[in-house]
Structure 1
Amino acid sequence: MYKKLFFLLIILGISIVQAQEKTITGIVYETFGPLPGVSVLVKGTTNGVQTDFDGKYSIKASIGDTLVYTYLGFKTAYKTVGKSSIINVTLLEDAQTLDEIVIVGYGTSTKNYTTSSAVSSVKASQKNKRNYNISQSLSGKVSGVQITNQPYISSAIRIRGNSSISNNNEPLYVVDGVPINNNYNSIIKDLDKNSIEKINVLKDDKATSLYGNRASNGCIIITTKKGNYSLENDESYAQINENKFKRVQLSPLSTFSIDVDKASYSNVRRMINNGEKVPFNAVKIEEMINYFDYQYPQPKGEHPFSINTEFVETPWNTTTKLVKIGLQGKTFEQEDLPASNLTFLIDVSGSMGAQNKLPLLKSAFKLLVNQLRKEDKVAIVVYAGAAGVVLKPTSGNQKEKILNALNNLESGGSTAGGKGIKLAYKLAEKNFKKNGNNRVILATDGDFNVGASSDERMEKLIAKKRETGVFLSVLGFGYGNYKDSKLEILADKGNGNHAYIDTMQEAQKVFGQEFGGTLHTIAKDVKIQVEFNPNKVKGYRLIGYENRLLNDEDFIDDSIDAGELGAGHKVTALYEIILAGTENEFLKVVPDLKYTGNNSKLSTNNNELFTVKFRYKKPSEDKSFEMIHIQNDEITNASEDMKFATAVALFGLKLRKSQYINKIENSTIIELAKNGKGEDVNGYRAEFIRLVKSI
């Protein structure tokens, strides 16, 4: 009797203890700081949570329960729940090589053993129509289909039998009988899952016998319900409404922000070289012009840039003239540049798996790393389904350590760009160098699909981060799902610049020849305002800069953001103008004004054509300085630089099918570019001529 009572009391005691469930909170750290995305699980149950962006978690558990903390790349930690409701944990890095992990998904799986090579099929389940991606669709249902996991990134499909976990072993995708170029794999992975009828997986010789060597890593054959899937380009560009002619009498001022971005030219070049149609909105004429080097003099005096203007005949219209305004940023030797606090923010999501994305990115960043000095610091943040730090701030003289961190990056999963940006800026702020160069360098295809993904939300996020004093460089990679519109917003609103890297040649240009301009800002919020003399100029239009226009009153408002000028950077802007007394079909007649006439205080004999004003701020200051430059009404013969810039502008206008050019033949553009080719040390102008000849 007593024994039974004793055991009953023990059981009741255990039940009471187990019933003491409470909420456990805490923070999971790694050696550098909080660690987001850590799995926290009550051992022996399915009760689990993940840590948030700040490493925090909250979970229900009872006294005596064991909490298990796991994160790929770190050693698993175990904590027993006691009286305290707060449990903080620090995870240690695990140096062991990560294994491939079989994924889990939906559907039914069958195997066909009629050949020596396994052929597996997955049919869409009508009972479960959750919006899984393709990797989840296959997981756990097809023997031999695996994913490769690494810290901070999600799954990438691999077919067992490939021992390598490099970027080159993704399977071939075939959709409704059409093999897909691997550059577009990310688009296929984002197919509407409810539109898929069946997925077949081919391995070994069966795949190569049907599709050759390109299927050497296996083949995933997708059959859609409609059976006529057509790959659509998923790139996006901000809409551009071409600037029109304005009448000086009504609008004497033209105000805009400078733009040192050059992404449009290299992106357009890529499309033309690939034989693709160039979307109108991909052509930003100012970025095409500014891609090239021009021989402007170095600044003298207190201001960090020189101002240069030129006034010539228009090659494509006898009723207009051309005006060129050029800025030249002060050039510094590398040893004279301030110490850098750089944070590489690298997209390692599934969409970055193509050869022209993450693999090219790694090679490009090596060019930058090789130029770092001892006083420079580099940290690396990556993001995919989550975001995390893979390299703590490291001195530039530890190049091998930095390069190893880059080499170990792999792609896979969704794209939590917002989380990555927050973490990178947090790290940059923590290591802020006063009077130094504090910069986040974002490298991505811009395909944000988790978190703050809309253009509006990204704009608000990056505008807020701009207040930290950390600058931003945005580097675009790849194509098929390239999101130029998002990257342009990030660069414009983040006190930064934007480049598109499609080849190692372009990487050398961005990180080699233009190293200082890419990374070191010498003037911020640079605005230009041109006032035309109505006695000399009847009408004008700014060529390009449509997405950089400002209100006239914004010019003297220091709270209005504008573009940044890097060390050695050049900025060129072209105006097409109609002189007073000249008729032009694009400048329509307006009624006589009763109250507003020609209010110019200048006499008709005054020789000033226009006055151009510039405002800028020093990188660490909030008050602007103003410079003024006057151009007289004196037409000169076009310089080589003017001829070449005009050829580039004309090519851009033709690609955009502008209404403001006559039916210009490519031969005219080529002749103009040849006459302006000049010395062309790096061959970029010759390349442009070849590009025009190719279409």
Structure 2
Amino acid sequence: MKAFQSRALLPLLTAASLLLPACGAMSPPSSGGAYPQSLSSRMASLSAEGLPTQPQDQAANTEDYSRIYENPFLTTLSHPLSTFSIDVDTAAYSNLRRYLSQGQLPPADAVRIEEMLNYFRYDYAKPSGDKPFAISTELSDCPWAPGHKLLQIGLQGKSIEMSQAPPSNLVFLLDVSGSMRQANKLPLLKQSLRLVVDQLREQDRVSIVVYASATGQVLPPTSGDQKEKILAALDKLEAGGSTAGGAGIQLAYQLARQHFVNGGNNRVILATDGDFNVGASSDGELERLIAAKRQEGTFLTVLGYGMGNYKDNKLELLANKGNGNYAYIDSIAEARKVLVQEAGGTLLTIAKDVKLQLEFNPAKVASYRLIGYENRLLAAEDFANDAKDAGELGAGHTVTALYQIVPADGQTQPQDLNYSETQIKPDALSTTDLLTLKLRYKQPQSDSSELISQPVADAPKPWSEASGNLRFAASVAGFGMLLRNSEHKGSISFDQVLELGRSGLGPDPGGYRGAYLELVQQAMRLKK
């Protein structure tokens, strides 16, 4: 029997379709033409792996996305601290890929740039010693704003062979309501979870809870070596009824708690379209419910499926508030990426409540803007507050953040205020530090955070020397701003996005970056 294990990335067909909900019978998110004839062979080939090819009536589209208010530029003298939680979710990228592959531009609020950035892996420095991750930074020119700088911050999580992972206590929490009947929902869900079952070991345990009009346990905790029994329980599932998601969450966490493995990997895997309509269904109710459950020490993986009635806002909220991560599954190939190739990052937490705080030097930085992470912002005082929840980092995961910086060039002047005083300290003028980067995190079983602090020098590279990491990340951020029609997009164009992406393509194992360039070209055609 195979243990969880890292596997080599599959070829392009497998790699490029991993996080979106689609299957052969899937339809696009709203009205529109058939699958665009102009797609290249690479994008067209994705259809064979399960991307939708037929349009869906726009009247049937009730998808929900939370409003995004883009981060503004902040003046360093009045806002020297920028504090946020990491985010390892990738659902937004695969979801917008679903729209573009079906010949439609995604809604602006479906475009979360941090999730686009974090869909891809970067060649960051590897952690050493007993640290769960390493921190990398790079500073260069901003491609879409002459005179501005672009700062890339990268975290690289320690990789762990899943065969060496601690025992797992997994609870599959599966939506079998009537809204899950479509081929790209429950049938694809069952195919996806078979991939997890294939990797279970004798020391692992899995339970299955289903919810529709009612909630129930269809498989008690079962050893991972009893694969036929687990798969038989999955195969019997059928869709029907309304969606009592809150009751399902309660039962799943109850089971996880009853069979909790001290020092083990305790996790609920929720698979749904997010269309909760019975019991706890409002954002507030779900947030309170899931926030209470995370205190029990059980982590959460959210897998989204389907379209038309897809409730991205609810699934993102559950992952954000429940010590979780969130992926969007559109095909069996995408499921392999999330649940096999990146199983460690998806299913094994190596650091929790990871927060970053940057203190900018006003003598060097006039103003700055964090690109993305709008729903992950924290108050400055939350950084040292260990009771404040933040994001989790999985084994082997990378996390990327970008800041656009307006240099001070010695021109920053204190504000003339009546009741308070702002000034630049003499030390700030003499140091070469651009900023100080601080990071807090907790070990998975700890309630106390550890602090890492390091300066970042004001030593930008010319763009001609920028790494492939920064070039590709700049391309992805620019693409996101174009899709959002951001007021901060500056001079960026689709042609420039393609040029940046190609120059940062690198070895591209699995073909993810190459497939991204095809999406950019598809968006160009749709924008014309």
Instruction: Please give the residue correspondences for 1:51-450 in structure 2 after superposition, counting only pairs within 5 Å.
Output: 231-450=59-278
Give the aligned partner of residue 598 of structure 1: 423
Give the aligned partner of residue 520 of structure 2: 692
Q: TM-score, normalised by structure 2?
A: 0.86
2:460 to 611, 635, 657: 635
User: How far, CA to CA, are the matches of 2:254 and 2:426 in structure 1?
Assistant: 54
> Letter of the aligned partner of 1:406 in structure 2?
L
| Equivalent position SS for 2:508 | coil
CA-CA distance at 1:297 after TM superposition: 2.0
Matched, 1:660 2:488: yes
CA-CA distance at 1:275 after TM superposition: 1.4
Structure 1: where are the runs of 5+ without partners?
A: 1-167, 169-180, 186-228
| Equivalent position SS for 1:556 | coil
Q: Is the 8 A contact 1:534 1:598 kept in 2?
A: no
Give the aligned partner of residue 476 of structure 1: 304
1:529 to 357, 360, 371: 357
Q: Is the 8 A contact 1:350 1:413 kept in 2?
A: yes
CA-CA distance at 1:661 after TM superposition: 1.6
Give the aligned partner of residue 608 of structure 1: 433
Q: Is the 8 A contact 2:204 2:223 kept in 1?
A: yes
> Letter of the aligned partner of 1:546 in structure 2?
E
> Letter of the aligned partner of 1:482 in structure 2?
Y
CA-CA distance at 1:664 after TM superposition: 3.0
1:651 to 470, 479, 482: 479
| Equivalent position SS for 1:478 | coil
CA offsets 1:32-72 (integer angstroms, 9 cap, x no match): xxxxxxxxxxxxxxxxxxxxxxxxxxxxxxxxxxxxxxxxx
User: How far, CA to CA, are the matches of 2:28 and 2:107 in structure 1?
Assistant: 18
User: How far, CA to CA, are the matches of 2:71 and 2:277 in structure 1?
Assistant: 33
User: How far, CA to CA, are the matches of 1:407 and 1:593 in structure 2?
Assistant: 69
Matched, 1:617 2:442: yes
Q: Assess, with a 3 A threshold, how the Cα gap between structure 1 residues 629 and 182 changes in structure 2: closer, same or farther.
A: closer
Give the aligned partner of residue 340 of structure 2: 512
Structure number, greater radius of gyration: 1
User: How far, CA to CA, are the matches of 2:103 and 2:294 in structure 1?
Assistant: 39
User: How far, CA to CA, are the matches of 2:256 and 2:430 in structure 1?
Assistant: 57
User: How far, CA to CA, are the matches of 1:327 and 1:593 in structure 2?
Assistant: 39
| Equivalent position SS for 2:510 | coil
Give the aligned partner of residue 103 of structure 1: none
Aligned residues: 469
Q: Assess, with a 3 A threshold, how the Cα gap between structure 1 residues 460 and 363 changes in structure 2: closer, same or farther.
A: same
| Equivalent position SS for 2:509 | coil
User: How far, CA to CA, are the matches of 1:454 and 1:601 in structure 2?
Assistant: 52
User: How far, CA to CA, are the matches of 1:250 and 1:663 in structure 2?
Assistant: 28
| Equivalent position SS for 1:375 | coil
Q: Is the 8 A contact 1:554 1:560 kept in 2?
A: yes
Question: Greater RCO between the two (CA within 8 Å, min separation 6)?
Answer: 2
| Equivalent position SS for 2:307 | coil
Structure 2: where are the runs of 5+ without partners?
A: 1-22, 30-56, 524-528
Q: Is the 8 A contact 1:307 1:629 kept in 2?
A: no
User: How far, CA to CA, are the matches of 1:247 and 1:600 in structure 2?
Assistant: 16
CA offsets 1:63-107 (integer angstroms, 9 cap, x no match): xxxxxxxxxxxxxxxxxxxxxxxxxxxxxxxxxxxxxxxxxxxxx
User: How far, CA to CA, are the matches of 1:553 and 1:403 in structure 2?
Assistant: 48
Matched, 1:557 2:399: no
Q: Is the 8 A contact 2:361 2:428 kept in 1?
A: no
CA offsets 1:496-545 (integer angstroms, 9 cap, x no match): 10000111121111011110111111111100000011111110000000
Q: TM-score, normalised by structure 1?
A: 0.66
Q: Is the 8 A contact 1:331 1:567 kept in 2?
A: yes
Q: Percent identity?
A: 55
CA-CA distance at 1:653 after TM superposition: 0.5
User: How far, CA to CA, are the matches of 1:602 and 1:658 in structure 2?
Assistant: 37
Q: Is the 8 A contact 2:145 2:491 kept in 1?
A: no
> Letter of the aligned partner of 1:592 in structure 2?
D
CA RMSD between the two structures: 1.9
Q: Assess, with a 3 A threshold, how the Cα gap between structure 1 residues 648 and 385 changes in structure 2: closer, same or farther.
A: same
CA-CA distance at 1:262 after TM superposition: 0.4
| Equivalent position SS for 1:301 | coil
User: How far, CA to CA, are the matches of 1:307 and 1:691 in structure 2?
Assistant: 30
User: How far, CA to CA, are the matches of 2:364 and 2:27 in structure 1?
Assistant: 53
| Equivalent position SS for 1:682 | helix
More helix by share: 2
Q: Assess, with a 3 A threshold, how the Cα gap between structure 1 residues 184 and 327 changes in structure 2: closer, same or farther.
A: closer
1:682 to 510, 513, 521: 510
User: How far, CA to CA, are the matches of 1:483 and 1:652 in structure 2?
Assistant: 21
User: How far, CA to CA, are the matches of 1:506 and 1:603 in structure 2?
Assistant: 48
Give the aligned partner of residue 79 of structure 1: none
> Letter of the aligned partner of 1:325 in structure 2?
I
| Equivalent position SS for 1:236 | coil
CA-CA distance at 1:230 after TM superposition: 6.5
Q: Is the 8 A contact 1:524 1:617 kept in 2?
A: yes
Matched, 1:454 2:279: no
- After the TM superposition, which parts of structure 1 deviate over 3 Å for at least 4 consecutive aligned residues? 181-185
| Equivalent position SS for 1:506 | helix
Q: Is the 8 A contact 2:362 2:428 kept in 1?
A: no
User: How far, CA to CA, are the matches of 1:398 and 1:538 in structure 2?
Assistant: 61
User: How far, CA to CA, are the matches of 1:246 and 1:230 in structure 2?
Assistant: 39
| Equivalent position SS for 1:362 | helix
Q: Is the 8 A contact 1:184 1:481 kept in 2?
A: no
CA-CA distance at 1:280 after TM superposition: 0.8
Q: Assess, with a 3 A threshold, how the Cα gap between structure 1 residues 345 and 536 changes in structure 2: closer, same or farther.
A: same
Q: Is the 8 A contact 1:439 1:519 kept in 2?
A: yes
Q: Assess, with a 3 A threshold, how the Cα gap between structure 1 residues 242 and 184 changes in structure 2: closer, same or farther.
A: closer
CA-CA distance at 1:657 after TM superposition: 0.5
CA-CA distance at 1:592 after TM superposition: 2.6
Q: Assess, with a 3 A threshold, how the Cα gap between structure 1 residues 560 and 242 changes in structure 2: closer, same or farther.
A: same
Matched, 1:547 2:371: no
Give the aligned partner of residue 671 of structure 1: 499
CA offsets 1:289-345 (integer angstroms, 9 cap, x no match): 000010112211332110100001111110211000111111111122110000000
User: How far, CA to CA, are the matches of 1:315 and 1:183 in structure 2?
Assistant: 37
Give the aligned partner of residue 403 of structure 2: 575
Q: Is the 8 A contact 2:149 2:407 kept in 1?
A: yes
CA-CA distance at 1:565 after TM superposition: 0.6
Q: Is the 8 A contact 1:183 1:354 kept in 2?
A: no
| Equivalent position SS for 1:443 | strand
